[in-house]
Structure 1
Amino acid sequence: MMVKRHSEEHIEMFPEVLFKKFYPRLCDFACYIIKDQEVAEDVVQDAFVVFLEQKENISSHPNAVKSFLYSSVKHACLNKLRHHKVIDTYCKKIPFETLDDPKLLDGIIHAEIIAKIHQAINMLPVDCAMVLRYGYLEGLQNRKIAEQLNISIDAVKYQKQKALSLMRVMLGDTVYLLFIAFLMHK
């Protein structure tokens, strides 16, 4: 950002010179506010990007350029501080120990098992999957399933038995037992 003086009141904004002139002092200013050199440098670089995108709308007067850059850095720093404050408040309300909470882990395990069950159901032959969904997930009686699918009650019983035996093979014994427990609590 190069700066060429046409007069004492106006400057032409060449990025290299402008950057060299203001970058160090803006970094110091940002670091004074947020107390983190790396974040301060990022904030200042972002301020220069915004400046370059909007420089057509900014006066070329040195004080206007300086004011714009300092204001941009100040607002960006304050936004960062607000963001960190929100994160800190959230972390204090929900401590990291919560991640080890057995109920949370149970919820994760439950979600994974349900996903495996649905994946296995989707791999069943269509008739078996429909009978399984109607009978076990929606709780319909064999008679209702037979009516809906326009098949006999014996066919419904056969499809249920076939679906359960295929599910056992696809899920393995442990997950299958969890599947049965899931069906009992439905």
Structure 2
Amino acid sequence: MEDNVKALFEQNYYGLVELSRRLVGSNETGEDIVQDVFVKLLASDIALPGGEQPAKSYLYTMVKNASLSHLRKIKVIHNYRQSNPLIEISDEDILEDIIYAEVINQLYASIRNLPEASRNIFNMAYFEEKSNSEVAESYGISINTVKTQKRRAMASLKKMLFPVLRSIKILLF
């Protein structure tokens, strides 16, 4: 069971954190909530539903519920309603947040599947916001090689994410 939970953690972590972050408004709190969900899952005798999709759905539900519980505990909803009395969190908003979180999860999964050199250059350039010359200097390669690797990484990501984006387009339109 522990290996199964570890695999689910690695496959869904970023999407679950993104869902929680969008609900509670804090990335650090979102990470804590997701980690707490997995700790509770490992500590309990709860059997996960069979199959990848039911298990993923179960995890999203657990994170959603834990996030909403967190909001109730710190009375953010009360403060939010005072400043925006007509706005409430609806099921449609939560569904939109889940879809967005799943896209983020797919993006991180696709990045993990890039060749190591492309992935490292991509991470430095886009996540660490390093310039092409800084990346080139760090790896001892030419700026043109950096540009080529970034272009290849983007092309690979577009190819890997096309089915996800097409599905979203079909779903929404």
Q: Same fold (TM over 0.5)?
A: no
Q: Based on CA coordinates, which of the two structures has the bigger radius of gyration?
A: 1
Where relative contact order (Cα < 8 A, 6+ residues apart) is larger, the structure is: 2
TM-score by structure 1 length?
Answer: 0.39
